[in-house]
Amino acid sequence: CSTATHLKIGQKLNEGKTKQIFELPDQPGLVLVQSKDQITAGNAVRKDQMEGKAAISNKTTSCVFQLLQESGIKTAFVKQHSDTAFMAAHCEMIPIEWVCRRVATGSFLKRNPGVKEGYRFSPLKLEMFFKDDANNDPQWSEEQLLEAKFCLAGLTIGQCEVDIMNRSTVAIFEILEKAWATQNCDGIPTVFVAVAGRSNGLGPVMSGNTAYPVINCPPLTPDWGSQDVWSSLRMPSGLGCSTVLSPEAAAQFAAQIFGLSDHLVWCKLRASMLNTWVSLKLADKKLQACSL
Ligand SMILES: *[C@@H]1O[C@H](CO)[C@@H](O)[C@H](O)[C@H]1NC(C)=O
Ligand SMILES: *[C@@H]1O[C@H](CO)[C@@H](O)[C@H](O)[C@H]1NC(C)=O
């Protein structure tokens, strides 16, 4: 990250518990989001410890934003300015905190007695909280959010906006979960094989609802088979599932996809190629011996 270049800092626009927001007079549309840790730290010893922690946190924060940005998720983040500040788009904040969980822990257990720590949510568990310090950020329902009829920057928060926030939270969670899983090497590699007769739209529909690879393997019948295959081949834009006609080919292709990240699968495929070649070579030799 770049060292703090000179940036003309304007008036303070807002201040929360951990951050201050400053106008940037030379950068219309942008603000500076400054961490308050440096200012509020107490005695020198404590300050040292906090600074070390802050640096790691901030690095994580900006790496997360960068990953989201590079993935194509729109965020307010523009760039890191210093160890404790970043530049962001000047936005109005919808006063809702969305929380997405894969496992039950922390405050969820207190609010849902009887649920054991570590309970796994599939699909993900989504919750929302109204940002209201005075009332300790109460949990809200979707209906409460709709009835609040928030209007921010000229936009009224209705069902469409709520659905977008909901889906965005889930997508961002899945992106971060995926990124962290590669660090722990515990991600579950997944390929879907869609097998549906007649007008087999199953694979394309699945493909539109997952980022994992989908292989169509329609069971073709003599009567309508040649027409039915078109549902797997001619798809709406944005879909990229493949189509093969035999179950063996579907398994082979799935194995090749797994082989990209699993060297044991790749080794089996490579050995199988060799074994096929050797048996053809031997058969050829036998054939030549017969014909001589
Ligand atoms: C830096 O880290 C501290 C401590 O975790 C945090 O409070 C602060 O918001 C972070 N600053 C930025 C700019 O992300
Ligand atoms: C998010 O959307 C899903 C699916 O539409 C819905 O079941 C869920 O209740 C929503 N969650 C929240 C917190 O609004």
| Domain 96-184 CATH class label | alpha beta
| Model pLDDT, residue 246 | 94
Percentage of the chain surpassing pLDDT 70? 89
Residue 2 has pLDDT above 50, yes or no: no
CATH 3.30.470.20 domain extents, the chain: 96-184
* pLDDT band (50, 70, 90) for residue 97: very high
Residue extent(s) of CATH 3.30.200.20 domains in the chain = 12-89
Q: Which CATH number fits domain 192-261: 3.40.50.2000, 3.40.50.1970, 3.50.50.60, 2.60.120.260?
A: 3.40.50.1970
Separation of 127 CA from ligand 2 center, angstroms? 8
Q: Which CATH class is domain 12-89?
A: alpha beta
Nearest CA to ligand 1 atom 3: 54
- What residue's CA is closest to ligand 2, atom 14? 142
Q: In which residue ranges of the chain is CATH 3.40.50.1970 found?
A: 192-261
Overall average pLDDT of the 166-183 stretch:
86
- How much is the pTM? 0.70
Q: Taking 90 as the threshold, does the pLDDT of residue 62 lie above it?
A: no
94, 121, 130, 142, best to mutate for ligand 2 pocket (most atoms within 8 Å of CB)? 142
Selection from 58, 260, 60 nearest residue 179 by Cα = 60
Nearest atom within ligand 1 for CA of residue 19: 9
pLDDT above 90: residue 81: no
> Residue of the nearest CA to atom 11 in ligand 2?
126
